Structure formats: C-alpha cells, structure tokens
Chains A and B, each alone.
Chain A
Amino acid sequence: MSDAVDTSGAAADGFEPRITAFVCNWCTYTGADLAGTSRLHMASNVRIIRLPCTGRIDPLFIVKSFERGADGVIVSGCHPADCHYTSGNYHARRRFAVFHDLMEFVGVDPRRMTFSWVSASEGAKWRDVVDEAVANVRALGPFEAYRALAPEDAGVAAPAGARVEAEAS
C-alpha cells in the first residue's frame, strides 16, 4: 500500500498534514524506532507522543489534538495478546471502537483517525501506517471544520462588536 503514497514532500497547494501519533512505549514506539534505525523512508508529518500503554490513551487526547490544530491522529500499540500489561490494549480496543463510531456519528471523517497494532519488530508496518494516514489526511485536506469551532476572539483581543476608536453615536 505504501507504493501508491506520495511521500515526496509538499502537496501542490502547500498543505502539509499535521498528525499526532499516540503510541505505546513497548511495541509501537520501539517499532517506530526500528523504522528510523532501518532508515526507512516515510512521511515526516507525524509527531509521536509516547505513553506507557494504549490503555493509557484517553479519547480526550484525540479531541485535544484536533482542538490544537491536528489534521489527523494515529493511535497505535501492541497487538492483541502482546500487551506488556496483559490487557491494556483489549480495554483500549473497546474504548476506541466506541469512540470511533461516536465520532463518525458526530460527523468526523474516520479517515482522520488511524488505529493500528504495530509491534517492536514491525518497522515497515509503522512506515506503511504513517504513509497511509498522511495520504488519507492529505486527500481530506486541513481539518478546517474543527478549527472553525474556535472562539472568534481567540488570541486576537477583540470582543464581538468592539472597536478601538468609538465613533460619536
């Protein structure tokens, strides 16, 4: 699947997706490290945040990422039966299944949210996951719909209806 992905750099319109990846310490983070030490070529749009376990990843992390300007999110951890803490990923699987379906109901394109199992030995799979997530989000474009929810006066110091110089009424 990675063959079809354009990882050559900026798109024609200059849009570069920003993607946050929440990964578990034991499998995916090590897998991503392997991808790096193996010098695998992949898209550079992903910022990795390492957590102890997928069970530690609150769906609010994803909501927060979108709030703070992410165009897409990746959640990745140990394969079923491989969890360092025995069952963290099983609990996460249920939680994210429900979250995934709820977000789709609320109108978030599920292609902005990638969930995967990547083990410590799967550097190549991590590259594929990243490239596919980046390609998906690149095709969807920036998540302007979420950014449009920001308060109008955020960071601009001008409340609605205000003006610096009052005219005589």
Chain B
Amino acid sequence: MSEVREVARKLLTDGTVRVIVGWEDARRGARPVFVTDPADTERLIFDTRCVHNLVTYLNPRRDNVAELGKIGLVVKGCDAKAVAGLLREAQLTRDDVVLIGVRCGGVLEEAELPKAASLSPENVAPRCYGCDNREPELVDHLLGESQPEPPRPVMTIDERVAALDAQPLEERWAFWTEQFSKCVRCYACRQVCPLCVCERCVAEKSRPQWIEAPPHPRGNLSWNITRALHLAGRCVDCGECERFCPVGIPLSLVNRKLQHIVAERYGYTVSDDPESPAPIGDYRLDDKQEFIK
C-alpha cells in the first residue's frame, strides 16, 4: 500500500524514527519486517494477511527491538488498543513511538498465505466481527480508505462462548481440561502477548513453585487459568496467543469470556484510550458482590 510506504519513507528520511515495524511479503506469506533503510520501504505491505499484532515489539521485554532506535509502528485498530494498554500501565511513553494507523476492514485467520484474499465468513478472523476500533484514534497518521465492516464468521466468538456457557459444569470441565491437557508449555501465548509485560513471569518462579513446570494436565490448568486472569480487563483480543499456540488451544474463548465478565460487572470495555483505568487495580465502593456471603 503506497501511502504506508510514503509515510514510512518520510519518517526514516527525516530521521523522525530509526526503524519502521510493518509487514512484508515473504516466502511463506505475510510477516513482520523491520525497515531501517528508506529504500527498503518498498517492501512494506498492508493487506488482509497482516494479522500480526506488531505492538508485541514495543513490549519492554523486547530490548533487541528497542536497540534499533526510535520505532515507527504500523497498527490496526486492535493493535492500537495494545499500545494504549502499554501506555496505561506506564510500560511506554507516547513519545517513544510514532504510530502509523491503517483503516482496517478485518483480517484473515491466517497470515501464511501466498496472496491476500478477500474476506468471507469462512476465512475471516472471528475476532474481527463487531470490531469497535477499525479506525484507530491513538495514531499519528491514519492511512487508507474507510473499509466496509468485516463479514460475520460462520459462528462468532460470542456464540461459541454462549454455547459453552449453556453446557453443564461437568461438560465445561471436560472441555477445558481436555483443551489445556494439549498444552506443551512452550509459553508462546505469553511471549507473543503485547501485554504480558512481567520481567519475570510467575510461571518461572520456583521458590515456591507456584505453577508446576511440567506439561501435565494439573500444571497446565494452573498455567492457563493464571495467564487468563492476568489479562482480565487488559486483553485487547488481538488473538495472537491462539494463533501462535502450536497445539491449537482456543484461548480466544477464555479471553472473550473475561471480556464479558469485566463488561457485565464493571461496565468496562478495552479501548485505545490510554486514560481510562483498567478494571483490575481499580474499584468502586458499590461493586457487585452477590457471590460473597
């Protein structure tokens, strides 16, 4: 997309940023690229394969990206919410990054495709349906034309969560313990998450060993509950945890459930406004407490 290339070239040429983090077309499809030479901005693309949430490269854990110099980052609306998350939690200052926003009409489920495809109920990333931030405000440049709404997937994430909610407890237990038992504890979900910012994860604490390290169902349940809880009210629904999971655990269903919980209990929806406080770490005197005796 020529506009992105133009802006990127200008930012690199006038020295505003030292590196542009965007997407390129590679041997196996779209992937992140780090452009430092203005001439290489020709490699930048933006199409429906640009699924990756590149904000993960702003995470304070990524010191090898930070050392490239000031970053210009291409973001979709969902990605901008993650930038807001980092700002909200003082993991980043707004001046650290130049945000190149792109108007987005949804992305595919998969990035590893030889060509971009137009979206259909069969191939659209389910999280895109009902997106409330397709034209991010938290950006320095907003590029591209307004896009139509993404198609409705064959079954929405909300419908899938509702289908699980409708099942009896034992069925849900069977479902989740089976899903989590597949986990090999590679921690891809954590590593790729733009908002998993802890320098040392609780999963790596061994005195005491809060979360059992071996990938048996008991340790896996503990890990997966903890990962989900630590993202309650923070998760921006970029879906990267699920996409990176090598064994296909449907983490987006847990994440979405937590979004429902904070929305119902605290009226909170995650946005790209860095000023709105996150619900966990905040409180109201009259919070619902029907579960407390």
Contacts and interface: CB of A to CB of B under 8 A. Distances in A.
A and B: interacting chains: yes
Interface of A: 59-60, 63-64, 67, 80-81, 87, 90-91, 93-110, 114-117, 129, 132, 145-146, 149-151
Interface stretch (B39-47, B105-113, B172-180): B172-180
Contacts of A102: 225, 228-229, 232, 254, 257-258, 261
B262 interface: yes
B293 A60 contact: no
B155 interface: no
Interface in B167-185: 169-177
B3 interface: no
Contacts of B94: none
Q: Is the interface of B mostly helix, strand, loop or mixed?
A: helix
B201 interface: no
Contacts of B170: 107, 145
26 contacts: A59-B225, A59-B229, A60-B211, A63-B221, A80-B285, A81-B285, A91-B283, A93-B292, A94-B266, A94-B279, A94-B282, A94-B287, A98-B265, A98-B280, A101-B265, A102-B225, A104-B169, A106-B173, A106-B221, A108-B173, A117-B292, A145-B170, A146-B218, A149-B217, A149-B221, A151-B214
Interface centre among B176, B218, B265, B287 (most CB of A within 10 A): B218
B64 interface: no
Contacts, number: 118
Most buried by A among B221, B283, B289, B291: B291
Interface of B: 164-165, 169-177, 202, 210-212, 214, 216-218, 221-222, 225-226, 228-229, 232-233, 254, 257-258, 261-262, 265-266, 279-285, 287-289, 291-293
Given A102-B228, A117-B292, A107 B216 contact: no
Given A104-B169, A115-B291, A149 B279 contact: no
A99 B265 CA distance: 12
A91 B228 contact: no
A90 B218 contact: no
Given A60-B202, A105-B164, A114 B172 contact: no
Contacts of B210: 60, 64
A94 B261 CA distance: 11
A97 B212 CA distance: 25
Nearest to A58: B210
Given A63-B226, A94-B279, A116 B293 contact: yes
Contacts of B284: 90
A87 B283 contact: yes
A116 B292 contact: yes
B172 A67 contact: no
Contacts of A67: 212, 218, 222
B173 A93 contact: no
A101 B218 contact: no
B291 A97 contact: yes
Contacts of A80: 285, 289
A79 B212 CA distance: 34
Contacts of A151: 214, 216-218
A94 B283 contact: yes
A104 B261 CA distance: 11
Nearest to A100: B291
Contacts of A93: 283, 287, 289, 292
A93 B62 CA distance: 34
Nearest to B218: A149
Contacts of A149: 177, 216-218, 221
Nearest to A115: B292
Nearest to B282: A94
B283 A107 contact: no
A132 B293 CA distance: 10
CB-CB nearest 8 A-B residue pairs: A107-B173, A107-B172, A90-B283, A149-B218, A151-B216, A116-B293, A149-B217, A115-B292
